[in-house]
Amino acid sequence: MSALAIGLGALAALLVLLALGLEIAYSLAAVGAVGLLLLGGEAALMGSLATIPYSNVASFTLVVLPMFVLMGELAVAAGMAQQAYAAARAWLGRLPGGLMMTGIGASAVFGAVSGSSVAATVTVGRVSIAEMRRYGYDGGLAAGTVAVAGTLAALIPPSALAVFYALVTNQSISRMLVAGLVPGLASALLFIAAAYLIARGFPALAPPLREPVSWRERLASLRMTGPFGLLVLVVLGSIYSGLATATEAAALGALAALVLLALARKLSWAALQQALAATTRISCMIFLIIIGGMLFSRFLAFSGITLTMSEFIRGLQLPPLAVVVVMMAILTLLGMFIDPVGMIMLTLPFFFPIVKDLGVDPIWFGVLVVLQAELGVITPPIGVHLFVVKQITPDVPLGRIIVGSLPYMACQLVMLALVIAFPGIALWLPGRMP
């Protein structure tokens, strides 16, 4: 049997394992290991097992992931999500759809200190959804708004997903993080505009607030944004100015979050243990996916599938933009069934060599991948965020939550189209880094 035939058979086996519900990390590792054994024998398999797990995880650069996760967990412990919500409510609450805008604004602000979109959805959702329903907002609309707003944390740095892409593709973590800032903020503005239009068009779904808020209260609320400003200055400021690498900035951000937790008088052994446990759990999950993905990538290199695909795409003589659009469509389909990290690890061994061969900017492509991956977490039937907010609002049917998220999903598609049509949206800011 030829190497290419073995490779195609292994891909079919991978799809079967995923359909049976085996975790993406173990599916990739199992298929990669068996494929290496069939193609290169015991020597190739044992050599890969002896080098890939350690060499890909025991890396100073990889420290950036647990440090950013720890920073977000410490920010949660310090109550920063509640502070972000209170500040956003003071400024946006009185507008049509104000409480939806507040949830979106709080998600954007909290996303600037937490790289996890799921964490942002849970922490902001617990506050925001209850508040919206207390004032008569439709439950499906409230939950759908928070489900989509949580995806902002995947674009606005520090984004764990952007870091993951940069690590897997060997790109600059700093430039990848900075590239997501403008698209992330633009997405937040599109969501806020959608919330305003929904409230104006269907006031029964989002009743206006009658409680007055004085300018003194609004200005006083700005004090609550101080911790966020400090963390953004420490992390993004040091990265953009070139004073620190992304890894160093992540460590400084975690230290700053620890100091803020102490200043908020919420530092305790219980809070610290909870933050460290969550960081360890999330980091180990990502590391396992990286190990499995690297074994799978090594097998693909042995089988020649990636080279065959690159030659096939080149033979079609399609414009690079058309190839990228097709890749985004594939990611859309996969996002309905696979979590974002697994989806990236599954597709990049195929996609990235083709992207490099076509001369596509890898940072721009990375922003598109992150945008598309986060669209997947709100796409049925396996949209992670949909089930997260379903747990927060168990009395609201999942169908209503999906309907409530549809206007914002349209905004995400618009943002994706804008970044495809105008790459400068993603590349302008990193292009001005030293």
Q: Per-residue pLDDT tens for 51-74?
A: 888 887 887 888 888 998 899 889
Query: Quick check: is 17 in a domain?
Result: no
Query: Quick check: is 47 in a domain?
Result: no
Query: Quick check: is 287 in a domain?
Result: yes
Is 158 within 8 Å of 168 (Cβ atoms)? no
Place of tokens 């804008």: 418
For 231, list phi and psi in degrees, rounded to 5.
-65, -40
Residue 162 DSSP SS3: helix
What span, in angstroms and rounded, lies between the C-alpha atoms of 334 and 332?
A: 6
Query: Quick check: is 26 in a domain?
Result: no
Residues 6+ apart with CB under 8 A from 313: 323, 354, 357, 358
Mean pLDDT (the chain) is 87
Is 409 within 8 Å of 150 (Cβ atoms)? no
pLDDT of residue 1: 63
Query: Quick check: is 231 in a domain?
Result: yes
What span, in angstroms and rounded, lies between the C-alpha atoms of 125 and 142?
A: 9
Which amino acid is residue 381, in one-letter code? Answer: P
For 116, list phi and psi in degrees, rounded to 5.
-105, 120
Sign of CA dihedral 76, 391, 202, 409: positive
* pLDDT tens per residue, range 137-160: 999 999 999 999 989 988 898 888
Percent of the chain at pLDDT above 90?
33
Which amino acid is residue 260, in one-letter code? Answer: L
Query: Quick check: is 370 in a domain?
Result: yes
pLDDT of residue 104: 94
* pLDDT tens per residue, range 305-342: 777 777 777 777 789 899 998 888 888 877 777 778 87
Which amino acid is residue 402, in one-letter code? Answer: I
Which amino acid is residue 135, in one-letter code? Answer: Y
What span, in angstroms and rounded, lies between the C-alpha atoms of 33 and 29?
A: 6
Query: Quick check: is 29 in a domain?
Result: no
* pLDDT tens per residue, range 198-234: 999 999 999 988 777 777 888 888 888 888 888 888 9
- Write out the residue range of the structural domain in which residue 352 sits: 60-432
State mean pLDDT over 291-306: 82
Tally of domains in the chain: 1
Query: Quick check: is 36 in a domain?
Result: no
